[in-house]
């Protein structure tokens, strides 16, 4: 399989705003700490898969209610998919294409997502290097998306080191990113 990577589309910010509004409506009655635009589409100037990534941040005690609310609104719960404290959901439609996650406030996955986003927003050199890597990797064939993620891991580790992650956190993120597909 090929991974589609395209130049940054400024319209992704508006697409996220629409998804956030939809999620706020679906999550009425659930205590949500934040709805975060994460992933490459959240970084101006960064090439990306044309898929909006979203973390719905809740305290651990609200994960069940958040899951139930999303399922009631048509999302399919996919479970943790090997990432502790983060549950994935398949959207009920394809417009816009999106990945939605419920993340426990403060968990490593959430901190990883926010640190990569924020570091790349503030470091043009790393952003451009990551963009070039993603474009280069999009020319290869993969058995699954996990192989693509694994191929980005060395640079992601450097980004997270720059963001202040400690060796134990880096090792855990690398373990998750390089897991067999």
Question: Which residues of the chain have a pLDDT value below 50?
Answer: none
Q: What pLDDT, on the 0 to 100 scale, is given for residue 179?
A: 84
Give the distance, in angstroms, between the CA of residue 150 and the centroid of all CA atoms in the same chain.
15
d(Cα 176, Cα 173) in Å, to the nearest integer? Answer: 5
Half-sphere exposure for 164 (CA within 13 Å, toward CB): 5
* Closest by CA position to 2, among listed 124, 142, 123, 108: 142
Predicted structure pTM score: 0.95
Q: How far apart are the first and last CA of the chain?
A: 13
Domains by residue range for the chain, with CATH: 12-177 (3.30.460.10)
pLDDT of residue 181: 59
**pLDDT, tens digit, 9 for 90 and up, residues 150-178:** 999 999 999 999 999 999 999 999 999 99
Contact of 133 with 114, CB cutoff 8 Å: no
**Helices (H), strands (E): how many in the chain?**
6, 5
- CA separation for the pair 105, 86 (Å, rounded): 10
- Distance CA(153)–CA(36), nearest Å, equals 22
- pLDDT tens for 41-65 read 999 999 999 999 999 999 999 999 9
């Amino acid at each position: 399989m090929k991974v589609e990577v395209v130049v940054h589309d400024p319209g992704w910010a508006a697409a996220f705003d629409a998804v956030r509004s939809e999620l706020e409506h679906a999550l009425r009655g659930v205590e949500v700490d934040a709805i975060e635009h994460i992933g490459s589409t959240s970084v101006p100037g960064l090439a990306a898969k044309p898929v909006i990534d979203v973390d719905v941040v809740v305290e651990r005690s609200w994960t069940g209610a958040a899951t139930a609310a999303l399922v009631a609104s048509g999302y399919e719960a996919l479970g943790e998919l090997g990432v502790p404290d983060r549950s994935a959901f398949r959207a009920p439609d394809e417009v816009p294409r999106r990945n939605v996650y419920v993340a426990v406030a403060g968990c490593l996955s959430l901190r990883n997502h926010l640190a990569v986003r924020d570091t790349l927003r503030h470091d043009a050199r790393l952003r451009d290097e990551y963009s070039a890597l993603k474009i280069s990797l999009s020319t290869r064939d993969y058995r699954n998306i996990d192989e693509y993620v694994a191929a980005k891991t060395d640079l992601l580790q450097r980004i997270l080191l720059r963001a202040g992650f400690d060796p134990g956190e880096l090792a855990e993120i690398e373990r998750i990113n390089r897991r067999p597909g």
